[in-house]
Structure 1
Amino acid sequence: MTSLTERAEMHDNGTAPAAPAAPQYTAPPAGEPLPVFDFEDNEAYPTPEMVPVHIAWLRVRHDVRSVGKTDKHVEKDKNNRPYVKYNFRGVDAAINAFGPATLRHGVNVMAVDMTTNYRDTQSSRGNKMREATIVTTWQIMGPMGDSLPLLKSAGESLDSGDKGTAKAQSLALRALLFNTGMIPTGDPEPEATHVERGEAPTRSANDYRDEIVNPKTSAGRLEQISYELRNARMLHVLVTNEHGEEETLDALGMRHYNERTAQAGGES
């Protein structure tokens, strides 16, 4: 082992040993499956090389290469015989492709923020459905702890039970992996769960009136109600207000909006 002074002299004399070459990464051949992860086999997934996150993510893309549309959406014809309506790449296909590759190269994909929105609707057959829309902010962190700029992706689902949020979250993750990974998509991809939308049930004028006069209805919600009434062309529908007098929904909403904003200003 040489001292700092000796190394400086060697450098000045041009006799310093060459720095060891960085190990070269070789991507697996196209189509070759990655090894199945075995928690007992540390050699299958050794400690990842400490490289910047953009290099690690590029290596993940090298490993994944492509994901085929192997999942099938099956429906039944008029004779109750099943048939494949279309093929698609589901959430499991994305996880199975990217999971081993991100583990191999020390890449973590984490959701750091999520914005949700829900509304009641119905299918074309009149079945009650719940629509969930989720916009997720993701952080992709490399083995050295550095991260790519925060990324966003959206997922949307319709469900008749309590699985709408989970479906939308999964679809947002699938969109992130396939789009950020630049995985070829080919033909437009329908969703795994295909539901034809029907028109959302129209609320009655009295229903809107009751919500407007309710003191718990916020000023922000009153603005949204005005937008809904405009789209439904119900602004000038007459209703009986809280004083027993006839008043249009537009005037009723505006009056209560002004009262609530004035009250909020006085309290502040």
Structure 2
Amino acid sequence: MSTIQERAAAAAGRPTGDDQQDGRVLPQEPVEQLPAPDPMADYEPGDDDPEMVPVHIAWLRVRREIRAIGKGSEYNERGTKYNYRAADTVVQYFGPVTIKHGVNVIPFKTETTYGSKQTKSGSTMRECSVTVTWHIVGPKGDVIVSQTAGEALDTSDKSTTKAQTVALRNLLLNGGLIPTNDRDPDADRIERGVEAPARSAESYRDEIVDPKTSPGRLQQISYELRNLRILNQKVQNETGDWETLDGLGARMYGERTGGGQ
């Protein structure tokens, strides 16, 4: 019986078998493709190995064990003070729990953009913004794909690393829906009045130099000035010299807390 190739060649008027003179070799009959071997086929779990569950179940178990991460780190420089959740702290919470449940968090793709910023002292800082695509891999090898962003400044070559660290913290906290256990901002109800006009630099100067202004209020003023982007605006201080609002506030804060220059 002739093969499929021979019948096709005869129908097309081409030579078959020994009659083929041009040395061409016709394609062979298609070979049935076998499925790729399952890498977990011969897997035998050990005593400490995670349960072989889908990744969304494993990630849910990680979240269930983390529960909450408080803002245990403190930033307190130049009159600005606030609490935050440090990246190392977040990783320390997640690391052992992801190992327990067989979850790997792997950066799959990183896209970066760079810029430069000038500091008050005149030095140049490198600014990096990253968008990282993450693979959250479960114990069975299936994947949840997520994407987070991060940005950072650095005077040397660490801005990329810092930005990636911020992106990782954002992934773990946002992807894990990890609360802080802080007071809910909706717990306080404030009636909104007429929108107040933006204050002038001079009005802030007067409040900063007023001896009745508390250190706590000076910290709040620093936050307001940062949002208004007038931290570096110069005003005449209490002695008539020109000084930035940021420098004036920091100096007054130091004097009123016993750490004056």
Percent identity between matched residues is 47
Aligned counterpart, 2:130: 134
Aligned counterpart, 1:111: 107
Q: Which has the larger radius of gyration?
A: 2
* Residues 86/99 of structure 1: CA separation in 2 closer, same or farther (3 Å cut): same
Equivalent position SS for 2:162: helix
Encode CA deviations 1:178-214: one digit per residue, 9 max, x unaligned: 00000014589xxxxx9x7989xxxxxxxxxxxxxxx
Q: How does 1:73-84 map to 2 (within 5 A)?
A: 73-76=75-78
Is there any run of 5+ residues in structure 1 with no aligned partner, and where? 1-41, 78-83, 189-193, 200-268
Encode CA deviations 1:237-263: one digit per residue, 9 max, x unaligned: xxxxxxxxxxxxxxxxxxxxxxxxxxx
Aligned counterpart, 2:15: none
Q: How does 1:22-61 map to 2 (within 5 A)?
A: 46-61=48-63
1:91 aligns to 2:87 (yes or no): yes
Kindly provide the amino acid, as one letter, of the partner of residue 73 in structure 1. Answer: Y
Partners in 1 of 2:105 and 2:183 — Cα distance? 27
Equivalent position SS for 2:92: helix
Partners in 2 of 1:127 and 1:170 — Cα distance? 24
Superposed displacement of residue 126, structure 1 = 4.0
1:179 aligns to 2:166 (yes or no): no
Superposed displacement of residue 124, structure 1 = 4.8
Partners in 1 of 2:134 and 2:178 — Cα distance? 18
Superposed displacement of residue 64, structure 1 = 0.5
Kindly provide the amino acid, as one letter, of the partner of residue 97 in structure 1. Answer: Y
Encode CA deviations 1:39-66: one digit per residue, 9 max, x unaligned: xxx97xx110111111000000011000
Partners in 2 of 1:154 and 1:134 — Cα distance? 6
Partners in 2 of 1:88 and 1:187 — Cα distance? 14
TM-score calculated relative to the size of structure 1: 0.49
TM-score calculated relative to the size of structure 2: 0.50
Encode CA deviations 1:205-248: one digit per residue, 9 max, x unaligned: xxxxxxxxxxxxxxxxxxxxxxxxxxxxxxxxxxxxxxxxxxxx
Partners in 2 of 1:47 and 1:120 — Cα distance? 47
Kindly provide the amino acid, as one letter, of the partner of residue 49 in structure 2. Answer: T
Partners in 2 of 1:72 and 1:187 — Cα distance? 17
Kindly provide the amino acid, as one letter, of the partner of residue 161 in structure 1. Answer: S
Kindly provide the amino acid, as one letter, of the partner of residue 58 in structure 2. Answer: A
Is there any run of 5+ residues in structure 2 with no aligned partner, and where? 1-45, 185-222, 231-261
Aligned counterpart, 1:155: 150
* Residues 181/49 of structure 1: CA separation in 2 closer, same or farther (3 Å cut): same
Partners in 2 of 1:182 and 1:125 — Cα distance? 40
Report how many aligned residue pairs link the two structures.
143
Aligned counterpart, 1:9: none
Kindly provide the amino acid, as one letter, of the partner of residue 59 in structure 2. Answer: W
Tell me whether 126-135 or 108-117 shows the greater mean CA deviation: 126-135
Partners in 1 of 2:53 and 2:172 — Cα distance? 20
* Residues 166/187 of structure 1: CA separation in 2 closer, same or farther (3 Å cut): farther
Encode CA deviations 1:145-197: one digit per residue, 9 max, x unaligned: 1111x211001001112111110010000000000000014589xxxxx9x79
Partners in 1 of 2:183 and 2:84 — Cα distance? 10
Kindly provide the amino acid, as one letter, of the partner of residue 173 in structure 1. Answer: L
* Residues 107/72 of structure 1: CA separation in 2 closer, same or farther (3 Å cut): same
Equivalent position SS for 1:175: helix
Equivalent position SS for 1:101: helix
Instruction: Give the one of 55, 62, 65 matched to 2:64.
Output: 62
Equivalent position SS for 2:140: coil
